[in-house]
Structure 1
Amino acid sequence: MLVFRTNINSAQRLHKAACRLCKLRSICRWSVDMEDRDCVLRIETPTDSTNPYSEQAIIRLLTKAGLQCEVLT
């Protein structure tokens, strides 16, 4: 599971994220907790080695959409 801190705190930003994330076939499921102060984005990916999406790839994808995203440790 990949976990990120984001600024996805509105319906408009959620829509921007959804437009990008729904196009990625290797994502099993994703969610954003907009009630959390970190607006946590969780992404479930396959556990095998065929997953082409790294944390940095997700960050780049969402940053290009004008969203803030960083790995939550």
Structure 2
Amino acid sequence: MEINGLSVLLFKTNIHTATDKEFMTQLMAQHQINQWTVDQEDVDCVLRIVSNEIQLNEVISLVSQHGYQCEELT
């Protein structure tokens, strides 16, 4: 999906606690991903990234390497 020429990537995750979200904040900053959110109220804990800098598989690998589940939300 695209918004204003930027790619919007959506993922199903298990990022559901405040500690998880705090860790993701640090991880995303390290990888210069500035536009992202996690909907912890959603059953799928949807991770949404808006960027043209990172690809779908890179996000899955990055998040999975740190022990979290991450798959494309279709």
Tell me which interval the TM-score lies in, with the shorter structure as reference length: 0.7 to 0.9
Per the alignment, residue 54 of structure 1 pairs with 55
SS of residue matched to 2:36? strand
Distance 1:17 1:28, change over 3 A: closer
Identity between Structure 1 and Structure 2 (%): 39
TM-score for both structures, normalised by structure 1 = 0.83
CA-to-aligned-CA distance 1:9-55 (integer Å, 9 cap, x gap): 10111122112111222x34100000000000100114xxxx2x111
Moved over 2 A (4+): none
Q: How does 1:24-63 map to 2 (within 5 A)?
A: 24-25=31-32, 27-46=33-52, 51=53, 53-63=54-64
Cα distance between partner residues in 1 of 2:72 and 2:25: 18
Cα distance between partner residues in 2 of 1:42 and 1:66: 18
Gaps spanning 5+ residues in structure 2: where?
1-7
Per the alignment, residue 3 of structure 2 pairs with none
Cα distance between partner residues in 1 of 2:64 and 2:37: 17
Per the alignment, residue 4 of structure 2 pairs with none
Gaps spanning 5+ residues in structure 1: where?
none
Higher relative strand content: 2
Aligned CA-pair RMSD? 1.2
How many residues are treated as equivalent by the alignment?
67
